[in-house]
Chain A
Amino acid sequence: MSEAIASGESPSPALRSGERRGRLKVFLGMAAGVGKTFRMLIEGRVELEAGRDVVVGLLETHGRAETAQLAEGLPILPRVRMTYRQTMIEEMDLRAIVVREPEICLIDELAHTNAPGSEHAKRYEDVEEILAAGIDVLSTLNIQHLESLNDHITELSGIRVRETIPDAILGRADEVVLIDLTPEALLDRLRAGKIYPSERIDAALNNFFRIENLAALREVALRQVAEEVGAKRLTTELVGSREESLAADAPQAVGERLLALVEPYPGTQRLVRRAWRSAHRLGAELDLLWVRKPGQRLTAENERSLSALRQLASVLGAKMFEEESDDVAAAVVEHASRRGTTYILVGRSRPARGVARLRVPLPQRLMQRLPGVDVRIVADRSQRASADVQ
């Protein structure tokens, strides 16, 4: 029997399970009001009823009666008060949580920025410390707070969200639960006063809570979680058990990734636009790959085309890669395998010269070496136009 248990004291989480790090579970939503905090509290109550030591480290009810009601009966740690510019601010009491050593701590709004003078600048940094102390954390996050999506969402919604968290924080979460709600249902909740007080409803409806915004945000949230699942599958393949490896061998369920093979010629832009359009429809990522021959010299015209291609990729949000290789097919296969490509688009090849005519065409070589990856040849419209003229 351990000394702690013999003395009647509750062992610290770290002692309970060696040096284990706490588990992080994030409830992710497309916007305020979808029910992230509600779901977090329900899970907290279930754990409490199961006999685990649960505390609420930080709860933001935003004046919602249903949320406050659900929190009743859960032990809530008092907040710490601090003064900043003659204003009293309340923040989560990190030290109190670490000293209290619960098994599970509920912490709302993971992306929150702490008041100046706090131990850490951001709440996710507080959460990191709590996890390091071996305490499990349940937390909430809206999709627009993810750093990598911030610009994209600002362009979609026209509203810049200042509080962001690095994607790696969500990536390290042991579980991500998407709290999904249709935009129509969310708007109904908003109009019923379940999200904001009545004086804020009109402003919300005219700004962030427009149905097209919500639909776009929902799509982004669904894709983000799908990608998280995809990333976890890849991790499993690398380090998992035999069963997990077998599962990883199963066909990829979600997340298309397109690869367009480009060259610095004017006609390539059309291929890129078409690839982007397809990626847009599939909700997929788009990579562009230029396989450059070692020592290949570019003409001034090639340089201009390459610069235009990079600019186009940047505006479209595609990632452009350049690789040096004598063997185009090998370079493409290596790249596609590394990036998890599901779809390759190639343009019409230029006429082969000499013995190269005897070689198997690139699309066929790719199909042979990348089973399961679709290969599409994009037509050269200029050829079609000249054929029409003839």
Chain B
Amino acid sequence: MTMLVIVVVVAAAGIALGIAAGYWLPPHGRLARRDRPRPVRRILLPFTGEAISRRSFEAAVRLAKAENATVMPAFLATVPMNLPLETPLPVQCARGMPLLESIEQRLISQGVPVDSRVGRGRTARDALRRLLEQEHFDRIIVSADEDQHSGLGYDDLRWLLERAPAEILILRTAPEDTRQISSNAVSGHF
């Protein structure tokens, strides 16, 4: 009889332990993931057009992998002066969102954490300034070719160097390297 009670108690304890373990331990190995170092650095990759240079993208990927950072591609939308700043911008979004998706897809396929942003301002610089006021970024990667990939001209780059509270990586032009990442590269049903 005593033996039976012991068996029942042990079985009940085992079941309780199993339920507790089931509750606290989700499937697919939370513990293993917890051991991984968390990304602590944030790399901003701003753009305004329908394409970004492959060089900027690759630089972001290299840095992110080396520093265990999150890449934050940011679409900078410009609001005309005759519209309220909070106005929706479906026409610009129709251009910018597929590119944002395309960049995200490529970053994810290379195993780089990604967290996208959308900035809005009267100019690309204004949108970037507002974004920098809202959040901290460790690095900002921009292209210096002033070809509207990032939508930032030389004056804006100078402003960025003087004012932005982050390390700025300005990529020099490479006329022979015209490779781009565009919204055409977006895959799947988007």
Contact = CB atoms under 8 A, between A and B. Distances in A.
Contacts of B119: 311
Contacts of B100: 273
A380 to B, nearest CB: 10
A270 B24 CA distance: 29
Contacts of B91: 155-156
A357 B87 CA distance: 42
Interface stretch (A6-14, A241-249, A348-356): A348-356
A388 B93 contact: no
Contacts of A308: 115-118
B186 to A, nearest CB: 10
A64 interface: no
A354 B22 contact: yes
Interface residues of A, number: 38
Contacts, number: 98
Nearest to B110: A385
Interface of B: 19, 22-28, 70, 77, 80, 82-84, 86-91, 93-94, 97, 100-101, 104-105, 108-109, 111, 113-120, 134-135, 188, 190
5 contacts: A155-B83, A160-B83, A314-B120, A357-B22, A381-B188
Given A160-B82, A314-B86, A315-B118, 20 more contacts: A151-B83, A154-B83, A155-B88, A155-B90, A155-B91, A308-B115, A308-B117, A317-B88, A351-B26, A351-B27, A351-B28, A353-B24, A354-B19, A354-B22, A355-B19, A357-B22, A381-B108, A382-B108, A385-B111, A388-B109
Contacts of B97: 273, 276-277, 316
A307 B130 CA distance: 13
Nearest to B119: A311
A312 interface: yes
A315 B88 contact: yes
The prevalent SS among residues of A at the interface is helix
B114 A266 contact: yes
Contacts of B84: 151
Interface in A311-350: 311-312, 314-317, 350
A274 interface: yes
Contact of B93 (A276, A304, A305): A276
Contact of B116 (A156, A266, A352): A266
B82 to A, nearest CB: 5
Contacts of B108: 381-382, 385
Nearest to A382: B108
Nearest to A316: B93
Contacts of B105: 381
Given A273-B97, A276-B97, A316-B88, A385 B27 contact: no
B32 to A, nearest CB: 13
A353 B28 CA distance: 11
A185 interface: no
B2 to A, nearest CB: 33
Contacts of B19: 354-355
Q: A305, A350, A355, A381: which has the most chain B beta carbons within 10 Å?
A: A381
Contact of A314 (B24, B83, B88, B114): B88
Contacts of A357: 22
Given A311-B117, A314-B86, A274 B190 contact: yes
Interface in A366-390: 381-382, 385-386, 388-389
Closest A-B pairs by Cβ, 5 of them: A317-B88, A354-B23, A266-B115, A151-B87, A351-B26
Nearest to B136: A304
A308 B178 CA distance: 32
